[in-house]
Amino acid sequence: MHSGKFVFSQILARVPHWDFQRLARRHGADSARLDFTAWEHFAAMMFAQLTYRESLRDIEACLGSQPSAGYHLGFRRPVRRSTLAHANERRDWRLYAELAQRLMVRARRLYADEPTGLEMDGDVYALDATMIDLSLAVYPWANWNRTDAALKMHTMLDLRGPLPSLVSITAGGQNEMAWLDEIPLEAGSFYLMDRGFLDLKRLRRFTREGAFFITLERDDISFYVASSRPADRQTSIRADQIIRFNGRDSRRAWPDAMRRISLFDPEARSRVIFWTNHWMLPPATIAELYRNRWRIEIYFRWIKQNLRIRHFYGTSDNAVRIQLWIAISTYLAVAIARKQLRVTHSLTTVLQIISVNAFQKIPLAELLAADSSTTPTSHSANQLSFSSF
């Protein structure tokens, strides 16, 4: 029998303790007012994510059912719901936000050689935002339009994985266009976004820094067709055009030409029109690139279904943000473990296996490989498959 670490501890070990402690010191997260350490706090909240705990009472009961295991799980004393509630209210969420960003960097390094299924030299990113709905009665501080309460999670998803490479959590009313200013651009990379991000002045930065965007056309921006490029109308492509803007503000924001590609979508029986600042790729390749933007919609659906970001353990802004950032960190820790162990299961299956074996002392590689011969794997090139919904 394996007498080593618990399964949960092996996942937690994917978060470097030394790096976490350095972050905690910088954020002053282990003050005398909070004798429940930042590491214990993180471990308890990550345990709740991995084992699908529904409340602080549930976390306390589950961890309390294995008192002898507490020390080996990283807890110096029994975890009480009052202690957790106090930590969620008082410990600064920015510690866990910075931790998540560091885990993103670590995970992306591991997945750097992962195929995306796209024949591109540069990286490909999908940009979008999703609303984290809250009850107005319970979370009045999150009221953003007088009738609804919500936070907004802005995400830039690296399609190599797929893995989040940048996340910001803002008020529900935050405009997606303004978030473009925060995005670090990489020359030669592609950024896929919907028309909600179409701000010509902000998109100028992409061209200046050698990055490429593909977005959907907006009907309220006036333009004229300066010239047309050859397009194979035997395919779904209907037009490949060079356009210029003739509105005063739009012309000032984007004085150069823009490429406009129109295609007919036979499934929806409608036209889809793209704008891009890339001039060399065939229209069909541009369309195929943009089609992959929907991976971020699948990612949002996945985290809402498989992580605890719909029901919260606290009611303050700080508590909600802590839970959201630790949920993202949990996703990344499992993704890191999965890559390091070369597991063929989908991420959904990995989480399900971990959830019912958290207190088992069995090597994680052995546990996850146990059913690999009978568990179907995705045919998709992306390793963190979402096909198991």
pLDDT, tens digit, 9 for 90 and up, residues 137-183 = 999 999 999 899 999 999 999 998 789 999 999 999 998 899 999 99
Give residue for tokens 């990612």: 299
Instruction: List Cβ neighbours of 369 (8 Å cut-off, separation of 6 or more).
Output: 343
- Which pair of tokens denotes residue 44? 């308890």
Give residue for tokens 């936000």: 97
CATH of domain 116-297: 3.90.350.10
Cα–Cα separations (whole angstroms), residue 88 to 12, 56, 139, 251, 282: 19, 11, 15, 49, 51
Per-residue pLDDT at 387: 35
Judged by average pLDDT, the poorest of 119-123, 149-153, 379-383 is 379-383
Cis ω before 162 (30° cut-off from 0): yes
- pLDDT, averaged across the chain: 88
pTM above threshold 0.75:
yes
Amino acid (1-letter code) at residue 367: L
Q: What is the mean pLDDT of residues 315-332?
A: 96
CB burial of residue 278 (10 Å; 0-12, 13-18, 19+): middle
Percent over 70 (pLDDT), the chain? 92
Instruction: Please determine, for residue 379, whether its predicted confidence score (pLDDT) is greater than 50.
Output: no
pLDDT in tens, 198-221: 999 999 999 999 999 999 999 999
pLDDT in tens, 265-294: 887 788 899 999 999 999 999 999 999 999
- Which pair of tokens denotes residue 242? 């060079």
CA 273, CA 293: separation in Å to the nearest integer? 15
Largest CA-CA distance found in the chain, in angstroms, rounded: 75
The confidence band for 374, taking pLDDT boundaries of 50, 70 and 90, is very low
CA 94, CA 82: separation in Å to the nearest integer? 22
- Which pair of tokens denotes residue 110? 């591991």
Q: What is the mean pLDDT of residues 32-44?
A: 84
Per-residue pLDDT at 213: 97
Q: Identify whether the C-beta of residue 61 lies closer than 8 Å to the C-beta of residue 79.
A: no
The confidence band for 3, taking pLDDT boundaries of 50, 70 and 90, is low
CA 41, CA 74: separation in Å to the nearest integer? 10
Q: Where are the domains of the chain?
A: 7-96+311-369, 116-297
Q: Which residues of 248-263 are buried (b: 16+ CB within 10 A; e: fewer)?
A: eebeebbeebbbbbbb
Q: What is the mean pLDDT of residues 127-131?
A: 95
